[in-house]
A and B are shown apart, each in its own frame.
Chain A
Amino acid sequence: MESSKVIHAFYNDDEILMDAVKAVKAEHHHIEEVFCPFPVHGLDKAMGLAPTRLAITAFFYGITGLAFAIWMTNYMMIQDWPQDIGGKPSFSWIENMPAFVPIMFELTVFFAAHLMVITFYMRSRIWPFKKAENPDPRTTDDHFLMEIPVHNNVDELTALLTKTGAVEINVVDKH
């Protein structure tokens, strides 16, 4: 049965938070979420989060952009209406290729950048008018919050978290 309560432990320093995460992991408790006002270097490693694959998606988006640019320049300038524009050779794509490189470059970057950002928004579930999910407004200013699900072990967890230097510990209903 899924627990309906979670414990919220507050910290006011990222170094203490890091040590607390390591201590909680060492006791084999599952950390549901950590809320921070700014990126804490090494937190993902300490929590054991899998590395992001965003860069890999960007690479493939870039390849897509490059392919699109090659197809577009070839279709427009060589296949559809091959005009003589200022003596530029339009007999085959490769002959006029240097003139297309700026387009190829820009579209590669454009596709890689924008599609990666959109992928990021989708995977992170961020969009306009989305309801904010922070459990306590202080986590956007100067506090760090660690959220741990409770399985009839409130006292044990509270003792552990107090020892790690939590400044405030609350047991709340899961939102």
Chain B
Amino acid sequence: MYQFSGKLKTFSLALILLGVIGIAYSFLTAPSTIQEAKDIIALQSSHGSDHGDSHGGEHEDNAHTKNYESTSGEHNSSEHIDQEMSAHGAHNDDSHAEHVLHQLQNRPWSAFYVALFFFLGTTLLVLAFYASQRVAQSGWSVVLFRVMESITANLVPTSVIMLIIIILSAMHMNHLFPWMAEGTFDPSSENYDAIVDGKSWWINIPGWTIRSIIYLALWNAYRFFIRKNSIKEDTANDGGKTYKLNYNVSVGFIFVFMLTETMMSWDWIMGLDPHWFSTLFGWYVLASLLVTALTVIAFVTIYLRSKGALPGVNDSHIHDLAKFMFGFSVFWTYLWFAQFMLIWYANIPEETTYFAARFNEYKLPFLAMVVMNFVFPILLLLNSDYKSIPWFVVLGGIVILGGHYLDIFVMIMPGTVGGQWYFGIPELSALLFFIGIFIFTVFSSFAKANPIPKANPFLEESEHFHYYNIEHRGEGSENHH
């Protein structure tokens, strides 16, 4: 049995505490009045920073303010004109200041939401990957089952936090989702938005809230069931009955997961830009989270193996995980590019605004993530020998994790904070907070069960798994055939 060391526990709690302090600080320092927002704008202009420049610019600036406007649903056309005028002229126009105020007020929420979605989604995809391994009756990954199960323990706290954020959003405590603004669906309101109103059969607060709760409930139900029954499998001794039940439930979960994952990506991410739509968006989010999930599995596996907690895991298992990281990195790039290129090529204004907003205001993260999520893993993990060297996999994995955090960042931030983005205390402290929770839940969960799923019919095969092409360090060639 693995012992969750006191040192690691203290470390994770320190991260959580640090995160909480940073999150509290970022909420307390967010501006609450238009005057404060104006002061911040004035400060930015006087410093001549990027943001200040973009507001003081001339023609190009006009276009990009409009781009942002059309991706967020909370502004009507009369405000639009004010917006354009204020972008050209002085900054004392109230509607512009109000707009920036909303963005600045959104920032601590968005920063938290990005980290939350990153960790919730990653954990969810570990669960889905685990279910797929059961359904595929894969022979190699059985010794990693307990690692994956432990990682899914992180689903519980992240789901609870997500539930809170959902309820707070539905109660209008934040401006994350533009379509939730007062009067969006009311033709007599000056906030009325006919396009978003046309979608109100799907994006309305009660429906959205209920759906969100259903997704979380279904995922957690499967995770609760499979964790309990997987441990039960060890001692069941019932001729594979428990194993078959777990198999059948996993088949059902894969089906439910594919439906809920797609709808989740519409509700939680695409809803941030309610004027925009993309058909392969659910797949794109899936690919991003799946790469992250596999990297996280590889990291936890490499860490636990280095602590001697995973006797059945050899270099071939690491090699396979790295192969998955490599393969799904390419898959992510394929979907990212397919989505980008189709929109770029046809250049239909209502779709292009999405990328225009990102390319104008998020150029560095937008381009950096292609390098981090594609070029780097391609070159690093192409070689078969490198894929079985733990520190190489960790090196590649860190860049992949960073790249996919950026990916989620670029999905969420433009719709909520627009040009007011920055990677600072709110973003960093939210990340630390969730990393702390992750370490705490995952390793305390791993310490609670036998690290080897003893009665799994494929365990023997998994322990002797050997990819023919690589030499195992610290083992003779006669150990494997």
Contacts and interface: CB of A to CB of B under 8 A. Distances in A.
B340 A98 contact: yes
A87 B346 CA distance: 10
A14 to B, nearest CB: 12
B347 interface: yes
Interface string A54-92: 010001000000000000000000000000000100000
Interface in B325-359: 337, 340-341, 344-345, 347
A149 to B, nearest CB: 26
Contacts of B340: 98
A98 B347 CA distance: 12
B279 interface: no
B468 A98 contact: no
Contacts of A45: 477
Interface size class on chain B is 10 to 19
Nearest to A22: B478
A42 B345 contact: no
B468 A42 contact: yes
B481 A101 contact: no
Contact of A41 (B341, B344, B382, B468): B468
B337 A101 contact: yes
Contacts of A55: 384
A118 interface: no
A99 interface: yes
Interface string A31-43: 0000000000110
A99 B468 CA distance: 40
Nearest to B342: A98
B382 A59 contact: yes
A42 B468 CA distance: 8
A99 B481 contact: no
Interface string A15-47: 000000000000000000000000001100100
Nearest to A51: B469
Contacts of A98: 337, 340-341, 344-345
Nearest to A59: B382
A79 to B, nearest CB: 22
Interface in A83-114: 87, 98-99, 101
Nearest to A42: B481
A87 B347 contact: yes
A45 B481 CA distance: 10
A62 to B, nearest CB: 10
A140 to B, nearest CB: 24
A101 B468 contact: no
A37 to B, nearest CB: 19
Nearest to A99: B345
Interface in B388-434: none
Contacts of B347: 87
B381 to A, nearest CB: 13
Contacts of A99: 341, 345
A87 to B, nearest CB: 7
Interface string A133-159: 000000000000000000000000000
A63 to B, nearest CB: 11
Interface in B354-398: 382, 384
A59 B378 CA distance: 12
A101 B477 contact: no
Nearest to B385: A51
Contacts of A42: 468, 481
A41 B477 CA distance: 13
B382 A101 contact: no
A90 B359 CA distance: 19
Contacts of B337: 98, 101
Nearest to B471: A45
Contacts of A87: 347
Contacts of B477: 45
Nearest to B468: A41
Interface string B427-457: 0000000000000000000000000000000
A113 to B, nearest CB: 16
Contacts of A101: 337, 341
A53 B268 CA distance: 48
Contacts of A59: 382
Contacts of B382: 59
Given A98-B340, A99-B341, A101-B337, 4 more contacts: A55-B384, A98-B341, A98-B344, A101-B341
Interface of A: 41-42, 45, 55, 59, 87, 98-99, 101
Interface of B: 337, 340-341, 344-345, 347, 382, 384, 468, 477, 481
16 contacts: A41-B468, A42-B468, A42-B481, A45-B477, A55-B384, A59-B382, A87-B347, A98-B337, A98-B340, A98-B341, A98-B344, A98-B345, A99-B341, A99-B345, A101-B337, A101-B341
